[in-house]
Amino acid sequence: MTVSATSISLPLKARIPRHPVETASLQSCPTATADADARRFTAAVAAGDEAVFCEFYEAYRQRLFRFALVLAHGDETLAHDTVQAAFITAAKKLRHVENAEHLWNWLARVARQQLGKAWRNQRQNSAIVGMAEPPDLPHAAAESVLEENLDTALLAMDDAERELLEWFYFDRLSHKEIAGRLAATPKSVSSRLERARAKLRLAMTRKLSHET
């Protein structure tokens, strides 16, 4: 069904694949196929084709989430919000790209802009006070380094912390549901999540400070 571009329904709070440290499958596609898909996605978004927009969303959301997570210094909530905002912007403004690299660069630029806006709007929020705004990084080699840093930070966490973050952010379990799995209280789960988030943010901040 074809709808207007402004009425495209974004799958808000869609589940990011459970294993964020894996390489996105999109990156393994042959260049010609990826370029053709990029042009097809863009034309469909411009025409308001909701079905193809969902296909476009699924093709790029994991890679964009990884990128946003690194720039957000490990803040998963901010990264999720950034991805949603970037795709909403795409539904409204994406009209023409030449190839897959052009499309990715466009999405990455929009994500950086959205993240910078969120940072400025939340400057007084205690969770991000003192953090620098996300750097305007190049796209290819720098992105690879950033993903390696993210992988390292996640793998450095103990199994319990990593699983807790997966349950909450990727599986979308509530504090109560996680508490049931752990035979703990929701309050205890909240405290454990905050410690895990803080640890990941600190690890990413330290790594980025060495790269930028």
Dihedral-angle region of residue 55 (phi above 0 means left; psi in -120 to 50 means alpha; beta otherwise)? alpha
pLDDT for 45: 92
The more confident residue out of 147 and 120 is 120
Tens-place pLDDT, residues 139-190: 444 555 556 666 677 677 888 888 887 787 666 789 999 999 999 999 999 9
Q: Is 49 helix (H, G, I), strand (E, B) or coil?
A: strand
What's the rounded Cα separation, in Å, for the pair 135 and 139? 12
Q: What is the mean pLDDT of the chain?
A: 75
SS3 content of the chain, % helix, strand, coil (to 5): 70, 0, 30
Please report, for the chain, the start and end positions of each structural domain, with discontinuous segments joined by +: 5-211
Asked if residue 67 has pLDDT above 80, the reply is yes
pTM, full prediction: 0.56
- pLDDT surpassing 80 at residue 102: yes
